[in-house]
Copies of this chain bind each other. A is one copy, B any other.
Amino acid sequence: MMDVVIRNGRVVTPGGVFEGDVGIVEERIAALGEGLRGNAEIDATGCYVLPGAIDPHVHLQMWAGDYRSSDDFASGTIAAACGGTTTVIDFVEPADAEPLLSALAARRAEADGRVAIDYGLHMTIDAWHAARPEELASLPEVVAVGVPSFKIYQAYGRLRLDDVLLHRALRAVALVGALPIVHSENGPLCEELRAEALAHGHIDPCYHALTRPARQEAEAVNRVIDIAALAESPLYIVHVSCADAVARVESARKRGEPVYGETCPQYLTLTADALDGPHGERFICAPPLRSHADQGALWAALAGGALDVLATDHCPFTADEKAGHLDFTTIPGGLPSVEARLSLAYTLGVRAGKLSLERRVEVCCTAPARIFGLARKGHIAPGFDADLVVFDPEAEVLLSADVLHEQVDWTPYEGTSLSGWPRHVFSRGRPIVRDGDYVGQPGWGRFVFRERR
C-alpha cells in the first residue's frame, strides 16, 4: 500500500512514455505499475506525469547594484513550483575577502526555512578569490558540502575573470571534479560599446542589445572553450542566446570536448524588437534578446543535442524598478521566466513540432539533474525523489502577471496563450500544487547535497 498513487497518467521519461501509475511512499517514488493502491489516489487520466523540472539557473533575492531581484526564496520557489519546477539551483556570491564557506552559510541562511521546493547552490568564483591560490585551495571543501559547480563570469566588473584567472579557475574546478558554469560575454568590450553609445546620446533600451552584439558573445564562448581545453576542464555555458555562439559550441562538441550548453525560454520566444516596444526597458537582460534567425538556431540546437538544458536565468525586477532610468545602463537586467518554462516548452516546443515529449523532459529535467549531480532528481524511477508533475495538456492559460505567482508586476510573456499547464505538483511526495493552486508550506524545501559522478 502506497501513501500516494498518481493513477493512469502518461508517464514521460527520456526512454519513452508509458501509461500507468506512480506510487509514492514517504518522500520517494516507491513503485511504477498498474493498479497500484494508495491511501491517497490522484487521477491523472489524460495528463502527462513528468519528473519535477529542474531549473539550474535562477537568481532569487539577488542584489544587483542597488536593486534586489523581486522574488525572494519563498515567492520565487512558489512560482517555480506552480510551473512544475521542483528544484532550483541558485547562486552564492561571496564578497571580496569573504571565505567561500561563510558566504555559502549566509546564503543558505537566506533560503533555508523559506524555500517551497528543494534547492541547490552554485558557488561563484569572482576575481578576488580566483586570484588567490589559498582560496582556490578551498574548493574541495565547497564540493564536500554538496556544491560541485562553480559560476564564472567573463563579464561584470569584480565578478569578471580575465584569461589568466579564467584558466586558473577552470583548472581548479576541473581538478576537484566539479563543473564550471560560465556567463560568456566579453565584458570589457560591452562596457566600451556602452560608453560609446552614451557618449553619442544613445540612451534607449534598444542600445542595450546593440552594445552587446552576438559576435562578442560568440567571441567569449569561443575563448572559454579554448581556455577550458587548455585547462582540461569540462564546461557548461549558460544562456547561449545566438546562432553564432551555438556554432562555436557545436564545433567544440564535434572535436569531442566536454562542453554543455544551456538556453532559456526568453531567447527561444522573444526578440530584440521587444526593446523597441512601449516598455522596452523591461526586456533588458544579458545576453540581450536576439533575432528570429537566432531563435531558429536555438530550437534546432536544443532538439538536435547541440544544447543540453533549458533553464530560465529567472531574475525579476518590477516595472517600477525597470522604469524611469536616465539611460539603459542603469536598468537592472533580468527577466522573470521561472514559472512558465515547462509550459512554454510544451506549447511552443512540443505542440509546434520542435521538441519531442521525451526531449522536453530531457532538457528540463533529466539533463540538468545528471549534469549538476542531483542523483535522485529529474527522473521517474523507484528510489528517486517523488518530485512529480501532473501536466494537463489541455489546460488553457493566457499568460499575464495576474495569473503567475512570480512576485513581479509584469511578465515578458503577457498575452501569450499556452495549451498545457501543471495541474498538480509533488515535492518529495507531498502535494505542493493542487489543481493549479499552491498548497505547500514555506520551508518545506531543503538544500540538496549534489555530487557529480
Determine if A381 is an interface residue (Cβ-Cβ < 8 Å): yes
- What separation, in Å, do the CA atoms of A58 and B226 have in the docked complex? 30
CB of B189 within 8 A of CB of A15, answer: no
Q: Which of A104-112, A212-220, A269-277, A427-435 contacts B (4 or more CB under 8 A)?
A: A212-220
A23, A31, A304 interface centre (most CB from chain B within 10 Å) = A31
Determine if A16 is an interface residue (Cβ-Cβ < 8 Å): yes
Determine if A203 is an interface residue (Cβ-Cβ < 8 Å): no
CB of A32 within 8 A of CB of B31, answer: yes
Determine if A162 is an interface residue (Cβ-Cβ < 8 Å): yes
- What separation, in Å, do the CA atoms of A34 and B384 have in the docked complex? 11
Determine if A198 is an interface residue (Cβ-Cβ < 8 Å): no
- What separation, in Å, do the CA atoms of A262 and B409 have in the docked complex? 52
Q: Which positions 209-266 of chain A face chain B at CB distance < 8 Å?
A: 213, 215-216, 218-219, 222-223, 226-227, 229-230, 253-254, 256
- What separation, in Å, do the CA atoms of A241 and B164 have in the docked complex? 23
Determine if A36 is an interface residue (Cβ-Cβ < 8 Å): yes
Selected contact of A164 from candidates B191, B381, B383, CB within 8 Å:
B191
CB of B223 within 8 A of CB of A34, answer: no
CB of A227 within 8 A of CB of B189, answer: yes
Copies of the polypeptide in the assembly: 4
- What separation, in Å, do the CA atoms of A368 and B244 have in the docked complex? 32
Inter-chain contacts of A16 with B (CB < 8 A): 366, 369-370, 378-379, 381, 384
CB of B163 within 8 A of CB of A18, answer: no
- What separation, in Å, do the CA atoms of A30 and B32 have in the docked complex? 8
Given known A-B contacts A381-B11, A383-B19, A189 and B163 have beta carbons under 8 A apart = yes
Q: How far is the CB of A435 from chain B (nearest CB, A)?
A: 26
Q: How far is the CB of A151 from chain B (nearest CB, A)?
A: 21
Inter-chain contacts of A75 with B (CB < 8 A): none
Determine if A380 is an interface residue (Cβ-Cβ < 8 Å): yes
Per-residue contact bits, chain A 340-376, to B (CB 8 Å; 1 contact, 0 not): 0000000000000000000001000010011000000
Inter-chain contacts of A31 with B (CB < 8 A): 31-34, 36
- What separation, in Å, do the CA atoms of A20 and B229 have in the docked complex? 39
Given known A-B contacts A15-B14, A34-B30, A370-B16, A382 and B21 have beta carbons under 8 A apart = yes
Determine if A13 is an interface residue (Cβ-Cβ < 8 Å): yes
CB of A188 within 8 A of CB of B215, answer: no
Q: Chain B residue with minimal CB distance to A213?
A: B230
A15, A223, A230 interface centre (most CB from chain B within 10 Å) = A15
Q: How far is the CB of A31 from chain B (nearest CB, A)?
A: 3
- What separation, in Å, do the CA atoms of A191 and B36 have in the docked complex? 61
- What separation, in Å, do the CA atoms of A226 and B361 have in the docked complex? 32
- What separation, in Å, do the CA atoms of A394 and B32 have in the docked complex? 29
Q: How far is the CB of A159 from chain B (nearest CB, A)?
A: 16
Per-residue contact bits, chain A 18-45, to B (CB 8 Å; 1 contact, 0 not): 1111010000001111101000000000
Q: How far is the CB of A137 from chain B (nearest CB, A)?
A: 15
Q: Chain B residue with minimal CB distance to A229?
A: B215
Determine if A134 is an interface residue (Cβ-Cβ < 8 Å): no
Q: How far is the CB of A135 from chain B (nearest CB, A)?
A: 17
Determine if A192 is an interface residue (Cβ-Cβ < 8 Å): yes
Determine if A59 is an interface residue (Cβ-Cβ < 8 Å): no
Q: How far is the CB of A305 from chain B (nearest CB, A)?
A: 5
Q: How far is the CB of A226 from chain B (nearest CB, A)?
A: 4
A34-B383, A164-B188 given; 9 more Cβ-contact pairs under 8 Å: A15-B361, A15-B381, A18-B381, A18-B384, A21-B382, A162-B188, A163-B188, A222-B223, A256-B300
16 example contacts (A-B, Cβ-Cβ < 8 A) are as follows: A13-B13, A15-B15, A15-B380, A16-B378, A18-B381, A31-B31, A32-B32, A32-B381, A162-B188, A164-B188, A216-B230, A219-B227, A222-B222, A222-B223, A256-B304, A305-B305
